[in-house]
Structure 1
């Protein structure tokens, strides 16, 4: 028996070896289609699709059920066929598929057919690879290069309320609960609706058919071409088919089934414009402003791009539940209700601006992003940054009296500078191979992509001139229509435009200049010495002691276009091309130098002490000599330079003294944004009282001024930003304890409580008044606010009340409100994160919100961990952290929750750690200095 056993063992060993060899050969074939530059892993373990199969068209039929099934679940069923060509020989089909319960018939119901008449390889096995979200189909033979095939699948899935893929939104109208089946495919959610090649470069045409309840309406990217009533499985339904889409990416696909109605306008450039919303919203004309402004902005972009609108219609739909602000689905743009609906009797001036700017942003994408699409998500910044920048141009065309082009400095440039001053920031564009997983892609939808992208493109347009910028853009769109590109393709077209414009001179090629702004993170602080004319640059970091561990081939040096002027106010340009240089014209004997005129460049500016003193004197004596944007810039630069230990905090504070005479919104908004940091650091401590007293002295004259020009608050200022200034005056004066303001807001709110049917508070002022009254009031005011929130029929009004409820000083109410935030029956899921952050911004709610998030982390992560706004939560609940204890608490939290994970908030963890450390250092260095300044100023009369 011993010899037999040995022989059997030898035979078994040989068999094992043979099996291993065979498996290696098979696995080698399966992975042969992958990019050889990638690590040698099996093809289905890579998050990027192999380039062996290229889709040409999809035929998709979907049937969402707007009623629960017997199991109490909302579902959808569907069938899809995709025609693709084989570009590289392979015996493996990988197609994205996620969270779909594929119909089982001897395995998954998938059928492969050759369209050229040749024999088709048989399907051996099919399975789901959950981690990389693939449907893996192994064939018994190779697909032929150059031949076309059709893959058919049948499936069903849950119509969940997760606001991803094909999902449901709910609302109530006249006491009846109604369901909307809608979509959000960006960035990686089309695979949740049907199996597809779900990457931007995998463009195809889509033939969509929707089966839906009789009496409901179905929408998709194309115009509906046929609706037929029929009976399926004893159910009476309507089948609607749509015209095929152009070649486009899966993330732009959309379909909706609802009980909505619409308003429309005459065709603009052969395109029908329709605004869709809840029936009551449309009947109350809440879509009329969107309809009017859409036509104007669409016309602007047709002229701007010199390219006709690519589709036959532009539908815009307001959704009750929507995670993003809006989504640029081609021909079927979806919005949060507050971003599309406007009611002049209830909505504020700011709400109106919001509607216009979001519409402009999404319409800009119809060409830039949809017609021409970036190859991969690592260049998302160019898509979103561009749409953000040109949205200001579109709104300026539709509402020139607003002067909205100036507001980009507040909304985007300053915002980006703050984010990008951290050592944990990142470049606009990353290497494609570093962005693979869905959560990595989701993290790209951040301030850098949107706001820095817009700021850098605005700077590019400024030094090229807008006419040259647009000229290059037009040829770029013409050459790459219906295709995919990388950023350098745009730079090449802009360079051609420069070469054809003899009056435009730039010191380097467009690519050389832009690579330094795009491929390395951060930005420079440009330092000017007016005694010598010396000009230098260095990488600006909020915490100069922080370690930058991201290497840069450009060594954190930029090619910087410096627009500047002296007290003669003649604007000149100087290019700083190296670390240090000399510009003799900046050497002056009297007056001042001001650089980065109109804040056109993406950098900060520092000066010698004498020049800072000259600018301070100018502000105090006659601040109007300096443009409002640059008054805002001086304040923002000074405070951030002080935080970075480059400038004294006392000098930054001295610059605020002129604000008692300031009557422009943009400088005030910049000052408040920076002074809010002081409030965050001191609120809740004994140091807050003197800070509050000083700020009250600055705001009181502004409050009196607005009271006067509005005839004791009975009129609305004429100017767009003057209306914002009025809101600022009331919000700040009440918060700082000005009794005239608090009496005013309390009186207005009480009158509304006494007569709930009539709210006489002007829509512009409601947010400020509600917050002030609820902050000063008790349970009665809070309960009334909650009741009005529940009854609000306009999303913009509901948003104001939802924020204001977080203003209470009663911690028991704040605890109750935190519980409401995760109750979808009380606070919509789309608003959960922002509600928690609102509460955290209240000094009384800061610790409560932090404890709440820690306690509920697993649930919060499960529901929101993949959304791009998740980083907002992590930053928001830690914004006051400024002690060693806070730092240890956050480190402990990070360690304890590492197994659960942080999803799209992973990058925010490093940002928060860096900010806490910077806050600790700032307080240690500056608290005494700030208190000394405040003591001196508060002791002075007037």
Structure 2
């Protein structure tokens, strides 16, 4: 019997050899989609070795040489006995005839070839028009090895000098640093050499070539900032440029540390796997997240652009100047940048109410994911490269941002900024860990930051705080236990010992003091009793003011009842109204409170006029909708209830834009209109069709904020004719935002033939790789018919989808979009069985989370559907008999 060879376990690269500088020479061929390269790597020898192991993937090595420079200056070649590329761990292993001595200066020279593929990873091609291509890099986390042999781990920082030679001198060629020289070659070619970078890790190296226009500004510190756009669109880069220049100034002042490079370029790419990437000095963006047209772009796109630019500029300090030591600490840069992007944009645009939006858009999604059994700690052990892509998720980004926000609130801005400056100064041009950050903040504040915060980063989940009055009524009992939404039978409290307890900064506000805390403690044990001021013992009591803490609160019925008048008269602060509703929604999901009580609580928000509160209401309504999608009678009554809920707010605001509309008004109008479309509001649908026809014939254009929902109205009512028109709109426009408006509407049809056409269109060459999920998600999320068709389509095309995406965030988000809408135990079992027989490497955790979510919804339905159905039918009957 022959032995079965096992793949060796993953190991990080040895530190026997340390790269110091890379001289990289590249010659891409945009007609053949190939590139040739030569890299000269200068190494220092920390430990004598006769083996060299570095990363290389999907490259053809043609020649390699090793030279050693002795202390005398003599240079000699060391024979390479053999070398081999190992696909299983993406390494190039070189065996030498003799050992390299400690302290020697070594030059490793490798000539190789590679493919300019279309996978959006490594060094890849990007379409810029019919038969016109550019090329660009995306290296995070392990893509640099696809472009050149290197030590492709974040702790191996080195200096890079990039040289690029192309056959077309008209191409715009960029890299992290400014040009050092430009030499015209024969037959119209050009060779560009760039200035050496400072010490950086491989994943932050970048270069780009293609046809672009640019718009520029210069900061007071003489940093040249440019936004590169597709040809003819440079004015659409003006808003991003404004934000980038202001963000550089803001972060310099906040950190007390200047930006360290002479220039910063931001470039809009038509093909890009993620939203944006912070490559030092050359920031890359998906086109629709960098370009903003004041005449045709929506308010939502404007704030997306501001946030994404602020996020990537923040990384120039937090991630680039100081880099994580290993991917276990991914949250340290991504969570921090996600938090500070809000701080920056709130400073630049205070009228946008960004910290209130943070609660709904960032904090709550993290809490919803983190109460699953299949969540993970912020600091998660990464044992192989396939696991890295999976932790670019809501835990690393959103939970990371949320606990930084909690920490900032606890130790105060002055201490926080002092600690941040010390951290950046101490680790500049080097690597750091989570513990390094806690140490700096602890020294600055004098508070036990490491002890408290490690309870939030080193284990998954978060606590549920139970609050009730003691018998005396002048004391408040607070108790903590790990909250797990799948533990509904035990009150949502996990029995896992690993969860233990958290150290929780708690504050208390009351009706008498709604904006200022009357008490602040750190809850370290399982419970504590808090004394209440005598004049506050009958008012509402809020244990998470501003929704700053990363936890849920379950108030006793007596305490919960006290909030109701303050919700109705809106005297409860906006952030607290949002937090209360979000907590109650998850308590309902866990089976701690009945769904009918959640519906009745939502009804108290009907007179609200604030966009951010309505945003939270819509999220809770969508969660409830998952209960009844499979019951037509219940869904019909639920849609009636939704129309009752949303119509008054829509009438108050009006569908037509007003001259004094604020940014927030435009966001609210879009939110309410979409809500009424989904609730099958007849007046809204008919009006939408009429406006679509006027838009199509050019007599009255639809405002950008309403295009997608108006498209949906027309598609629901006129079917194939409108579907064909929408596909033509997407085909004719070169605006990625305009294409996205079409994609988001395609799933609104209730015709199985049109939904199938939408699915096939989503996987066709007409839709870019990064946009397929938008189309499929639109179909799967809107109806039982859509989700069933989408799942069948996914299964039938699983092989093609696996080849297209292989791994990464695009794949995991697509899988969740297709699977999460289901709602029965049988469907969960089917999904589980399918992925067991059709594995997708790098998506295992996301698949488990999706299956768990389906099972939780199934239990919720079993528990509450009948009572909800009874309530909603009674509600509809009573409203129908009530005079208007």
TM range (shorter): over 0.9
Deviation, structure 1 residue 343: 0.6
Instruction: Give the aligned length.
Output: 860
* Separation (CA, whole Å) in 1 of partners of 2:308 and 2:333: 15
* Alignment correspondent of 1:931: 869
1:311 pairs with 2:264: no
* Alignment correspondent of 2:507: 563
* Separation (CA, whole Å) in 2 of partners of 1:586 and 1:765: 49
* Alignment correspondent of 2:3: none
* Separation (CA, whole Å) in 2 of partners of 1:759 and 1:86: 70
1:837 pairs with 2:777: yes
* Matching residue within 422, 430, 435 for 2:380: 430
Given that 2:594 and 2:864 are in contact with CA atoms closer than 8 Å, whether structure 1 keeps it comes out as no
Deviation, structure 1 residue 406: 1.9
* Separation (CA, whole Å) in 1 of partners of 2:455 and 2:660: 44
* Separation (CA, whole Å) in 2 of partners of 1:674 and 1:464: 32
* Separation (CA, whole Å) in 2 of partners of 1:549 and 1:52: 48
Which digits, 9 at most, give the CA deviation of each residue in 1:33-72, with x for residues without a partner? xxxxxxxx99x8634111111000000011111113xxxx
Deviation, structure 1 residue 437: 2.1
1:773 pairs with 2:773: no
Given that 2:240 and 2:306 are in contact with CA atoms closer than 8 Å, whether structure 1 keeps it comes out as yes
Give the 3-state SS of the residue equivalent to 2:177 in structure 1: coil
Give the 3-state SS of the residue equivalent to 2:767 in structure 1: coil
After TM superposition, the structure 1 = structure 2 runs for residues 13-32 of structure 1, keeping only pairs within 5 Å, are none
* Matching residue within 111, 116, 124 for 1:154: 111
Deviation, structure 1 residue 738: 2.5
After TM superposition, the structure 1 = structure 2 runs for residues 277-296 of structure 1, keeping only pairs within 5 Å, are 277-282=229-234, 285-296=235-246
* Separation (CA, whole Å) in 2 of partners of 1:636 and 1:875: 22
Instruction: Identify if the C-alpha distance between structure 1 residues 265 and 701 changes in structure 2 by more than 3 Å, giving closer, same or farther.
Output: same
* Alignment correspondent of 1:722: 665
Which digits, 9 at most, give the CA deviation of each residue in 1:508-563, with x for residues without a partner? x1000001000010011111112441110111111116999999886431111122
* Alignment correspondent of 1:598: 546
* Alignment correspondent of 2:331: 381
Which digits, 9 at most, give the CA deviation of each residue in 1:579-628, with x for residues without a partner? 111112289642221221110111111111111112123323x1x21011
Which digits, 9 at most, give the CA deviation of each residue in 1:295-318, with x for residues without a partner? 111111111111111101000000
* Alignment correspondent of 1:99: 58
Deviation, structure 1 residue 884: 2.8
1:526 pairs with 2:465: yes
* Alignment correspondent of 1:397: 347
Instruction: Identify if the C-alpha distance between structure 1 residues 428 and 714 changes in structure 2 by more than 3 Å, giving closer, same or farther.
Output: closer
* Alignment correspondent of 1:489: 436
Deviation, structure 1 residue 394: 1.4
1:920 pairs with 2:858: yes
* Separation (CA, whole Å) in 2 of partners of 1:445 and 1:904: 11
| Unaligned stretches of 5+ residues in structure 2 | 1-5
* Alignment correspondent of 2:192: 240
Deviation, structure 1 residue 118: 6.3
* Separation (CA, whole Å) in 1 of partners of 2:533 and 2:387: 45
* Separation (CA, whole Å) in 2 of partners of 1:743 and 1:936: 28
Given that 2:264 and 2:281 are in contact with CA atoms closer than 8 Å, whether structure 1 keeps it comes out as yes
* Separation (CA, whole Å) in 2 of partners of 1:683 and 1:926: 13
* Alignment correspondent of 1:911: 849
* Matching residue within 41, 48, 63 for 1:82: 41
* Separation (CA, whole Å) in 2 of partners of 1:851 and 1:375: 43
Given that 2:482 and 2:499 are in contact with CA atoms closer than 8 Å, whether structure 1 keeps it comes out as no
Given that 1:166 and 1:182 are in contact with CA atoms closer than 8 Å, whether structure 2 keeps it comes out as yes
Q: Which one is further off, 683-692 or 289-298?
A: 683-692
Given that 1:681 and 1:880 are in contact with CA atoms closer than 8 Å, whether structure 2 keeps it comes out as no
* Matching residue within 94, 99, 110 for 2:64: 110
* Separation (CA, whole Å) in 2 of partners of 1:488 and 1:551: 29
Q: Which one is further off, 855-864 or 544-553?
A: 544-553
Deviation, structure 1 residue 385: 0.3
* Separation (CA, whole Å) in 2 of partners of 1:543 and 1:403: 34
Instruction: Identify if the C-alpha distance between structure 1 residues 833 and 764 changes in structure 2 by more than 3 Å, giving closer, same or farther.
Output: closer
1:740 pairs with 2:683: yes
Which digits, 9 at most, give the CA deviation of each residue in 1:879-937, with x for residues without a partner? 2222232123112212321xxx2222110121122112211211111012212322343
* Separation (CA, whole Å) in 1 of partners of 2:558 and 2:188: 81
Q: Which one is further off, 848-857 or 241-250?
A: 848-857
Give the 3-state SS of the residue equivalent to 2:137 in structure 1: strand
* Separation (CA, whole Å) in 2 of partners of 1:403 and 1:269: 30
* Separation (CA, whole Å) in 1 of partners of 2:749 and 2:426: 57
* Separation (CA, whole Å) in 1 of partners of 2:564 and 2:599: 11
* Separation (CA, whole Å) in 2 of partners of 1:639 and 1:275: 42
* Separation (CA, whole Å) in 2 of partners of 1:678 and 1:445: 28
* Separation (CA, whole Å) in 2 of partners of 1:554 and 1:845: 40
* Separation (CA, whole Å) in 2 of partners of 1:196 and 1:680: 48
* Separation (CA, whole Å) in 1 of partners of 2:721 and 2:713: 14
Deviation, structure 1 residue 143: 0.9
**Greater Rg by CA:** 1
Given that 1:586 and 1:593 are in contact with CA atoms closer than 8 Å, whether structure 2 keeps it comes out as no
* Separation (CA, whole Å) in 2 of partners of 1:718 and 1:251: 43
Instruction: Identify if the C-alpha distance between structure 1 residues 665 and 857 changes in structure 2 by more than 3 Å, giving closer, same or farther.
Output: same
* Separation (CA, whole Å) in 1 of partners of 2:662 and 2:400: 29
* Separation (CA, whole Å) in 1 of partners of 2:831 and 2:78: 56
* Alignment correspondent of 2:724: 783
Deviation, structure 1 residue 714: 4.1
Which digits, 9 at most, give the CA deviation of each residue in 1:777-797, with x for residues without a partner? 211111111111111232212
Instruction: Identify if the C-alpha distance between structure 1 residues 590 and 45 changes in structure 2 by more than 3 Å, giving closer, same or farther.
Output: closer
1:464 pairs with 2:411: yes
* Matching residue within 177, 184, 196 for 2:150: 196
* Matching residue within 690, 693, 702 for 2:649: 702
1:584 pairs with 2:531: yes
Give the 3-state SS of the residue equivalent to 1:476 in structure 2: helix
1:619 pairs with 2:567: yes
Give the 3-state SS of the residue equivalent to 2:501 in structure 1: coil
1:164 pairs with 2:114: no
The two structures have a TM-score, normalised by structure 2, of 0.94
Which digits, 9 at most, give the CA deviation of each residue in 1:310-350, with x for residues without a partner? 10100000000000000000000000001101111110111
Deviation, structure 1 residue 659: 2.3
* Alignment correspondent of 1:52: 16
* Alignment correspondent of 2:599: 653
Instruction: Identify if the C-alpha distance between structure 1 residues 814 and 246 changes in structure 2 by more than 3 Å, giving closer, same or farther.
Output: same
Given that 1:531 and 1:589 are in contact with CA atoms closer than 8 Å, whether structure 2 keeps it comes out as no
The two structures have a TM-score, normalised by structure 1, of 0.89
Given that 2:743 and 2:774 are in contact with CA atoms closer than 8 Å, whether structure 1 keeps it comes out as no
Instruction: Identify if the C-alpha distance between structure 1 residues 156 and 332 changes in structure 2 by more than 3 Å, giving closer, same or farther.
Output: same
* Alignment correspondent of 1:667: 613
* Matching residue within 722, 725, 748 for 1:807: 748
Instruction: Identify if the C-alpha distance between structure 1 residues 759 and 487 changes in structure 2 by more than 3 Å, giving closer, same or farther.
Output: farther
1:276 pairs with 2:276: no
Given that 1:520 and 1:556 are in contact with CA atoms closer than 8 Å, whether structure 2 keeps it comes out as no
After TM superposition, the structure 1 = structure 2 runs for residues 877-896 of structure 1, keeping only pairs within 5 Å, are 877-896=818-837
* Separation (CA, whole Å) in 1 of partners of 2:618 and 2:9: 50
Given that 2:371 and 2:485 are in contact with CA atoms closer than 8 Å, whether structure 1 keeps it comes out as yes
* Separation (CA, whole Å) in 2 of partners of 1:136 and 1:761: 60
* Separation (CA, whole Å) in 2 of partners of 1:46 and 1:875: 28
1:63 pairs with 2:24: no
Instruction: Identify if the C-alpha distance between structure 1 residues 550 and 698 changes in structure 2 by more than 3 Å, giving closer, same or farther.
Output: closer
Which digits, 9 at most, give the CA deviation of each residue in 1:488-522, with x for residues without a partner? 111111011113xxxxxx5xx10000010000100
* Alignment correspondent of 1:32: none
Give the 3-state SS of the residue equivalent to 1:920 in structure 2: helix
* Separation (CA, whole Å) in 1 of partners of 2:172 and 2:289: 22
* Separation (CA, whole Å) in 2 of partners of 1:479 and 1:615: 47
* Separation (CA, whole Å) in 2 of partners of 1:148 and 1:865: 39
* Separation (CA, whole Å) in 2 of partners of 1:918 and 1:671: 21
